[in-house]
């Protein structure tokens, strides 16, 4: 019997109407999609809210990068640390992470 894989997304939160001197600002929480959004920061206890963050989709082997491009997706392949090269779709040919 094959077990069904359960996805646990990482949600991003930020403080509401305050800047905490204890916390770095935004924080991440590993939660089930069925879990309620956090209302308070687990570090300082001040109010927080869930924010829209980046999304990542993993294509199965049954879908090619070209098929994904036909549906409007752009597919990138990691070239080196912090650099991704486009292999199909529209958009920038190279993406580079900007360290802050």
Q: Which of 26 and 53 is assigned the larger pLDDT? A: 26
Give just the sign of the alpha carbon dihedral 86, 62, 73, 89.
positive
Whether 77 contacts 90, CB under 8 Å: no
Q: Do residues 16 and 49 touch, judged by C-beta distance below 8 A? A: yes
> In the chain, what is the greatest distance between 2 CA atoms, to the nearest angstrom?
51
Q: How far apart are alpha carbons 91 and 85 in whole angstroms?
A: 11
pLDDT at 18: 75
Residue at token pair 């294509």: 59
Confidence category of residue 85, pLDDT binned at 50, 70, 90: very high
Residue % of the chain over a pLDDT of 70: 81
What pTM was estimated for this model as a whole?
Answer: 0.47
Q: Which of the 8 DSSP states describes residue 50? A: E
Report the pLDDT value the prediction gives residue 57, as an integer from 0 to 100.
62
Helix runs in the chain, H state only: 65-70
Mean pLDDT of 7-17: 83
- What are the tens digits of pLDDT across the range 32-56? 888 899 999 888 888 999 987 766 6
**Average pLDDT of every residue of the chain:** 80
């Amino acid at each position: 019997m094959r077990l069904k894989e359960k996805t646990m997304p990482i949600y991003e939160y930020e403080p509401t109407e305050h800047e905490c001197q204890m916390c770095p600002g935004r924080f991440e929480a590993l939660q089930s999609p069925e879990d309620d959004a956090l209302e308070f920061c687990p570090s300082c206890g001040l109010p927080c809210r869930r924010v829209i963050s980046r999304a990542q989709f993993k294509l199965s082997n049954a879908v090619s990068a070209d098929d994904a491009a036909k549906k409007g997706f752009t597919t990138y392949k990691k070239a080196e640390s912090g650099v991704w090269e486009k292999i199909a779709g529209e958009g920038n040919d190279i993406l580079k992470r900007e360290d802050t």
